[in-house]
Amino acid sequence: MRRPKKVAALQGKKVICIAVGSLHCVACTDNGEVYTWGDNDEGQLGDGTVNAIQKPKLVTALQGKKINRVSCGSAHTVAWSTIGSRVGGGSLPAEVPMEYDLLRDIPVVTLRNRYALLYHFSELFAPSVPMFDLSGSSGINQEGFDSLRGLLVSSGKESAFRKVVQATMVRDRQHGPVVELNRIQVKRARSKNGLAGPDGTKSVFGQMVSKMSLLTQDSLLLPHRVWKVKFVGESVDDCGGGYSESIAEMCDELQNGSLPLLILTPNGRDEAGTNRDCFLLNPAAKSPLHLNMFRFLGILMGIAVRTGSPLSLSLAEPVWKQLVGLHLTPADLNEVDRGYVPGLMCVRDMEPEAFQKLDMPFTTHSATGQEVRLSTKYQRTSVENRAEYVKLALNYRLHEFDEQVAAAREGMARVIPVPMLSLFTGYELETMVCGSPDIPINLLKAVATYKGVEPDSPLVQWFWDVMEEFTNAERSLDET
């Protein structure tokens, strides 16, 4: 068959999913029917024979299974259902868990039904994602997509995202280019708690940035080792361990001061507020070399998502929010610098006489703590211009990371479909890059060992009872 021809046997059927193997096809309709046709040498058509079928034939063995997904290999077929019993099945907890405290006054049945509605909406929307321009270039109001982030169920949008990732995967090689890295020079070049060479160029991360041209587009789309490591002066044969070790070292360098790309949050420096142990992108790192480093950081994040190998990075929530394309708000500033916005509000609302005595310069402090001039028009802040001061100061802090974020997203775009990140929240991207921070209690119980106490003692039981009452955040603090 050289030209497209209508498949008469499927006339009037609403096909929602179709897949092709080497010499066979499978289609699924909206009412859960599965049709197969083509070669059947390996029994891939599911009719219990090895006889070829010229026209689409209903697979009777799958009737009533509510199939809504199909896939093919060269000589095999897979059909499955993502539809579970939503409203009618499963038991409900006696009360709303503590981590959902804001929902405590809403009846659990109402919450369950709302989730069922959102889940069904996500199932309908996810297959339609290719029909939307997610890049923002069409001029469509981005706020509409932003409002969907928190409504779409994670599994639905991640399925659509993974479908694109899988379709662009390169599978015809075991690893990418061989890269030589010198870990010995890192120790020599790094002063105590200082940069590893000028701008961190002697670090493992810096060495990889200098060799970034070796990473071809095909190698960045591999499902596993994007490069093969040869450590200079070390007898390491990289069968996967060296590659993983190089990424782990780069993550460590990003957070131990070897590189100028990340800074501790102002809350961390002041030891007050949330996100004290988290990092921000360094707004002062804006040279061509620095921006190239941020691009490689984006590449690392994209590799983590594509290969499913999480990175050990502790970035503050606003960083992830910007990486998915969301703009920062004053509430985000409070997350990393709890005194900044209240300070601006104090400037705005202070009594004129008291304010004049402050004699404030028309400057503000950046996330790094450096003083920044906000205008060439004003030298000092007065009662007359303080409203403009507050506006300019807030605007500066909300956008001071834009250049670095853009470079990181540019790097991510070489590896994963960045426009589709407009469907995700910052937390969801963090989970894809760094893995889930939540550890189920039953898993903790399974790996727990006891010394000096019996596993079934009342003390142990009390411990697990308390752990179950903790939120995920409290549990994480307790585990550390």
Domain 260-435: which topology? Answer: Hect, E3 ligase catalytic domain fold (3.90.1750)
Per-residue pLDDT at 96 = 65
Region of 199 (left: φ > 0; alpha: ψ -120 to 50; beta: rest) is left
Q: What amino acid is encoded at 96 in this protein?
A: V
What pLDDT sits at residue 412?
Answer: 98
The pLDDT tens digits of the residues spanning 294-311 come to 999 999 999 999 999 999
pLDDT at 440: 75
pLDDT attached to residue 438? 74
Own/partner pairs, 380-385, CB within 8 angstroms, 24+ separation: 381/347, 382/356, 383/352, 383/355, 383/356
User: DSSP secondary-structure letter at 96?
Assistant: -
CA distance 277 to 211: 31
Give the Cβ contact number of residue 78 at 10 Å.
12
Alpha-carbon distances of 149 from 135, 137, 321, 335, 478, rounded to whole Å: 15, 19, 11, 20, 31
For the chain, domain boundaries: 8-80, 115-168, 260-435, 441-476
| Predicted local confidence at residue 108, as pLDDT | 80
The pLDDT, as a whole number, for residue 480 is: 43
The arrangement of strands across the sheet holding 34-38 comes to 15-20, 24-29, 34-38, 53-58
pTM (global) more than 0.75: yes
Q: Which residues of the chain have pLDDT under 50?
A: 86-89, 478-480
pLDDT, tens only, 176-205:
899 999 988 888 877 666 888 889 999 999
Question: How far does Cα 346 stand from its chain's mean position?
Answer: 36
Residue-level pLDDT at 194 = 83
